[in-house]
Amino acid sequence: MIPLSWYLILTAALFCVGLFGVLSRRNAVAILMSIELMLNAVILNLIVFWRYGQPADISGQVFALIVFAVAASEAAVGLALILSIYRRRSTVAADDINMLKW
Chain residues 40-59 in contact with another protein, contact rule CB under 8 A? 40, 43-44, 47-48, 50-56, 58-59
Residue 75 interacts with another protein (CB under 8 A)? yes
- Residues in contact with another protein, counted by CB under 8 A, come to a total of 77
Contact 27, 92 (CB under 8 A): yes
Q: Which is nearer to another protein, 23 or 100 (CB)?
A: 23
Q: Between residue 12 and residue 31, which ones bind another protein under the rule CB under 8 A? A: 12-21, 23-27, 29-30
Q: Which is nearer to another protein, 95 or 102 (CB)?
A: 95
Alpha carbons 31 and 38: distance in angstroms, whole number: 11
CA angle (47, 49, 51) in 5-degree steps: 65
Listed residue (101, 98, 15, 4) closest to 52, CA to CA: 4
Question: Least separation, in Å, of the C-beta of 13 and another protein?
Answer: 6
Residue 74 interacts with another protein (CB under 8 A)? yes
DSSP 1: -
